[in-house]
Protein backbone atom coordinates (compact mmCIF):
# COMPACT_ATOMS: atom_id res chain seq x y z
CA UNK A 1 0.00 0.00 0.00
CA UNK A 2 1.45 3.41 -0.97
CA UNK A 3 1.69 6.42 1.29
CA UNK A 4 -1.32 8.13 -0.27
CA UNK A 5 -3.40 4.95 -0.03
CA UNK A 6 -2.38 4.48 3.59
CA UNK A 7 -3.36 8.07 4.34
CA UNK A 8 -6.75 7.60 2.71
CA UNK A 9 -7.32 4.41 4.72
CA UNK A 10 -6.49 6.21 7.97
CA UNK A 11 -8.81 9.07 7.06
CA UNK A 12 -11.61 6.58 6.37
CA UNK A 13 -11.30 4.88 9.78
CA UNK A 14 -14.08 5.86 12.13
CA UNK A 15 -15.01 5.38 15.77
CA UNK A 16 -18.52 5.20 17.20
CA UNK A 17 -18.88 8.10 19.62
CA UNK A 18 -21.85 9.01 21.80
CA UNK A 19 -22.51 12.66 22.60
CA UNK A 20 -24.98 13.95 25.18
CA UNK A 21 -26.92 17.13 24.45
CA UNK A 22 -28.67 19.37 26.96
CA UNK A 23 -30.24 22.83 27.23
CA UNK A 24 -32.67 24.65 29.49
CA UNK A 25 -32.59 28.24 28.22
CA UNK A 26 -34.58 29.58 25.30
CA UNK A 27 -36.30 27.17 22.92
CA UNK A 28 -34.41 24.07 24.06
CA UNK A 29 -35.98 21.57 21.62
CA UNK A 30 -35.16 23.86 18.69
CA UNK A 31 -31.63 24.40 19.98
CA UNK A 32 -30.97 20.70 20.39
CA UNK A 33 -32.37 19.92 16.94
CA UNK A 34 -30.09 22.54 15.41
CA UNK A 35 -27.16 21.11 17.37
CA UNK A 36 -27.85 17.59 16.07
CA UNK A 37 -27.86 18.89 12.50
CA UNK A 38 -24.64 20.81 13.16
CA UNK A 39 -22.96 17.68 14.50
CA UNK A 40 -24.12 15.77 11.42
CA UNK A 41 -22.51 18.41 9.21
CA UNK A 42 -19.05 18.14 10.80
CA UNK A 43 -16.38 16.99 8.32
CA UNK A 44 -16.01 13.23 8.21
CA UNK A 45 -18.90 12.65 10.64
CA UNK A 46 -21.88 10.37 9.99
CA UNK A 47 -24.99 10.52 12.15
CA UNK A 48 -25.78 6.96 13.20
CA UNK A 49 -28.71 7.52 15.57
CA UNK A 50 -30.65 10.04 17.66
CA UNK A 51 -32.47 9.20 20.87
CA UNK A 52 -35.84 10.53 21.90
CA UNK A 53 -35.95 13.99 23.45
CA UNK A 54 -36.30 13.98 27.25
CA UNK A 55 -37.38 16.52 29.82
CA UNK A 56 -35.21 16.05 32.91
CA UNK A 57 -34.96 17.53 36.34
CA UNK A 58 -31.84 19.61 37.00
CA UNK A 59 -29.05 18.00 39.02
CA UNK A 60 -26.85 19.80 41.53
CA UNK A 61 -28.53 23.20 41.18
CA UNK A 62 -32.28 22.71 41.41
CA UNK A 63 -33.48 26.34 41.29
CA UNK A 64 -33.54 26.50 37.50
CA UNK A 65 -35.79 25.31 34.66
CA UNK A 66 -36.00 21.66 33.69
CA UNK A 67 -33.59 20.54 30.99
CA UNK A 68 -34.18 18.95 27.63
CA UNK A 69 -31.70 16.16 26.89
CA UNK A 70 -30.86 13.70 24.15
CA UNK A 71 -27.97 11.53 22.98
CA UNK A 72 -26.63 11.06 19.46
CA UNK A 73 -24.49 8.28 18.05
CA UNK A 74 -21.84 9.54 15.65
CA UNK A 75 -19.30 7.76 13.50
CA UNK A 76 -16.33 10.12 13.69
CA UNK A 77 -12.76 10.16 12.37
CA UNK A 78 -10.62 7.92 14.55
CA UNK A 79 -7.52 10.09 14.26
CA UNK A 80 -3.98 8.74 14.38
CA UNK A 81 -4.59 7.61 17.97
CA UNK A 82 -7.61 7.59 20.34
CA UNK A 83 -6.47 10.59 22.37
CA UNK A 84 -6.02 12.76 19.29
CA UNK A 85 -9.32 11.65 17.77
CA UNK A 86 -11.25 12.27 20.99
CA UNK A 87 -9.59 15.64 21.51
CA UNK A 88 -10.46 16.76 17.99
CA UNK A 89 -14.09 15.88 18.66
CA UNK A 90 -14.02 17.68 22.01
CA UNK A 91 -12.70 20.84 20.36
CA UNK A 92 -15.51 20.65 17.78
CA UNK A 93 -18.09 20.27 20.57
CA UNK A 94 -16.72 23.29 22.42
CA UNK A 95 -16.81 25.36 19.22
CA UNK A 96 -20.46 24.41 18.61
CA UNK A 97 -21.40 25.35 22.17
CA UNK A 98 -19.77 28.74 21.68
CA UNK A 99 -21.49 29.27 18.34
CA UNK A 100 -24.84 28.62 20.02
CA UNK A 101 -24.17 31.31 22.62
CA UNK A 102 -23.01 29.18 25.54
CA UNK A 103 -22.14 31.41 28.50
CA UNK A 104 -19.92 30.37 31.39
CA UNK A 105 -21.93 30.20 34.61
CA UNK A 106 -21.83 28.35 37.90
CA UNK A 107 -21.27 24.64 37.75
CA UNK A 108 -24.47 22.69 36.94
CA UNK A 109 -26.23 25.98 36.23
CA UNK A 110 -28.44 26.95 33.28
CA UNK A 111 -27.12 26.21 29.78
CA UNK A 112 -27.85 27.53 26.31
CA UNK A 113 -26.29 24.32 25.03
CA UNK A 114 -24.24 21.58 26.64
CA UNK A 115 -22.43 18.93 24.59
CA UNK A 116 -20.67 16.11 26.43
CA UNK A 117 -18.47 13.44 24.90
CA UNK A 118 -19.78 10.34 26.68
CA UNK A 119 -18.08 7.43 24.91
CA UNK A 120 -15.38 7.22 22.23
CA UNK A 121 -15.31 3.69 20.83
CA UNK A 122 -13.82 1.18 23.24
CA UNK A 123 -11.26 3.63 24.55
CA UNK A 124 -10.67 4.82 28.08
CA UNK A 125 -9.05 8.25 27.92
CA UNK A 126 -7.87 10.69 30.56
CA UNK A 127 -5.87 13.60 29.19
CA UNK A 128 -5.25 17.30 29.57
CA UNK A 129 -6.29 18.82 26.22
CA UNK A 130 -3.63 21.53 26.43
CA UNK A 131 -0.96 18.88 26.76
CA UNK A 132 -1.71 17.26 23.42
CA UNK A 133 -3.17 20.14 21.41
CA UNK A 134 -0.08 20.64 19.30
CA UNK A 135 0.19 16.93 18.55
CA UNK A 136 -3.49 16.78 17.62
CA UNK A 137 -3.16 19.66 15.20
CA UNK A 138 -6.15 21.37 16.79
CA UNK A 139 -6.39 24.48 18.98
CA UNK A 140 -6.30 24.29 22.76
CA UNK A 141 -9.91 24.44 24.08
CA UNK A 142 -8.58 27.01 26.52
CA UNK A 143 -10.76 26.17 29.49
CA UNK A 144 -8.35 23.86 31.31
CA UNK A 145 -10.80 20.97 31.10
CA UNK A 146 -9.46 17.47 31.42
CA UNK A 147 -10.92 15.08 28.91
CA UNK A 148 -12.21 11.92 30.56
CA UNK A 149 -13.87 9.25 28.46
CA UNK A 150 -16.17 7.56 29.25
CA UNK A 151 -17.65 10.63 30.88
CA UNK A 152 -17.11 10.15 34.64
CA UNK A 153 -20.68 11.12 35.62
CA UNK A 154 -22.54 9.28 32.87
CA UNK A 155 -23.32 6.12 34.83
CA UNK A 156 -24.99 8.11 37.63
CA UNK A 157 -27.12 10.48 35.52
CA UNK A 158 -30.51 9.36 34.28
CA UNK A 159 -30.60 12.23 31.80
CA UNK A 160 -27.67 10.49 30.11
CA UNK A 161 -28.55 6.86 30.74
CA UNK A 162 -32.16 6.98 29.52
CA UNK A 163 -31.42 8.31 26.02
CA UNK A 164 -28.13 6.41 25.75
CA UNK A 165 -29.91 3.14 26.57
CA UNK A 166 -32.15 3.68 23.54
CA UNK A 167 -29.17 3.79 21.20
CA UNK A 168 -26.82 1.28 22.83
CA UNK A 169 -28.57 -0.80 25.50
CA UNK A 170 -25.99 -3.61 25.44
CA UNK A 171 -22.96 -1.34 25.42
CA UNK A 172 -20.58 -1.78 28.37
CA UNK A 173 -18.38 1.32 28.31
CA UNK A 174 -14.74 0.85 29.36
CA UNK A 175 -14.50 0.73 33.14
CA UNK A 176 -18.19 -0.05 33.66
CA UNK A 177 -19.26 -3.31 35.25
CA UNK A 178 -22.69 -3.43 33.61
CA UNK A 179 -24.43 -2.50 30.40
CA UNK A 180 -25.97 0.90 29.78
CA UNK A 181 -29.45 -0.65 29.97
CA UNK A 182 -28.70 -2.28 33.33
CA UNK A 183 -27.25 0.96 34.70
CA UNK A 184 -30.34 2.83 33.50
CA UNK A 185 -32.70 0.35 35.17
CA UNK A 186 -30.78 0.61 38.42
CA UNK A 187 -30.86 4.41 38.28
CA UNK A 188 -34.61 4.47 37.70
CA UNK A 189 -35.10 2.47 40.90
CA UNK A 190 -33.11 5.14 42.76
CA UNK A 191 -34.41 8.33 41.12
CA UNK A 192 -37.88 7.29 39.95
CA UNK A 193 -39.30 7.29 36.44
CA UNK A 194 -40.28 10.97 36.43
CA UNK A 195 -36.74 12.33 36.55
CA UNK A 196 -36.33 11.79 32.81
CA UNK A 197 -39.49 11.78 30.69
CA UNK A 198 -39.52 11.31 26.89
CA UNK A 199 -41.39 14.11 25.11
CA UNK A 200 -40.36 13.88 21.46
CA UNK A 201 -39.00 11.68 18.70
CA UNK A 202 -36.46 12.53 16.04
CA UNK A 203 -37.95 12.97 12.57
CA UNK A 204 -34.95 13.51 10.31
CA UNK A 205 -34.29 17.20 10.90
CA UNK A 206 -36.11 18.02 14.11
CA UNK A 207 -38.21 16.78 17.00
CA UNK A 208 -41.81 15.64 16.74
CA UNK A 209 -43.32 16.87 20.01
CA UNK A 210 -46.82 15.55 19.32
CA UNK A 211 -48.48 13.97 22.38
Q: Which residues contact 38 (CB under 8 A, 6 or more apart)?
A: 96, 99
Q: Which residues contact 93 (CB under 8 A, 6 or more apart)?
A: 19, 115, 116, 117
116 catalytic, yes or no?
A: yes
Q: Which of 102, 124, 140, 197 is catalytic?
A: 102
Q: Which of 16, 52, 111, 155 is catalytic?
A: 111
Q: How far is CA 201 from the centre of its chain?
A: 18
Contact 96, 38 (CB under 8 A): yes
DSSP E strand stretches across 101-190: 114-120, 125-127, 147-149
- How far is the CA of 166 from the CAs of 51, 61, 70, 75, 128, in angstroms? 6, 27, 10, 17, 31
Rounded to whole angstroms, the Cα distance separating 65 from 126 reads: 32
102 catalytic, yes or no?
A: yes
111 catalytic, yes or no?
A: yes
Q: Which of 116, 155, 157, 191 is catalytic?
A: 116
Q: Which of 15, 31, 28, 32 is nearest to 67 (CA)?
A: 28
Rounded to whole angstroms, the Cα distance separating 108 from 123 reads: 26
Rounded to whole angstroms, the Cα distance separating 64 from 76 reads: 34
Q: Which of 16, 52, 114, 155 is catalytic?
A: 114
Contact 158, 184 (CB under 8 A): yes
114 catalytic, yes or no?
A: yes
- Catalytic positions, please? 102, 111, 114, 116
Amino acid sequence: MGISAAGEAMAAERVRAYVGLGANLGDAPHTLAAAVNTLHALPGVALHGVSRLYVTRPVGVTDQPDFHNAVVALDVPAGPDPETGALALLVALKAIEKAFGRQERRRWGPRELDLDLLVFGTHRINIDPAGVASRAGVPDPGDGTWLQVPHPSARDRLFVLAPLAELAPDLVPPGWERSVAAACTERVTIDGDQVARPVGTWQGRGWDLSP
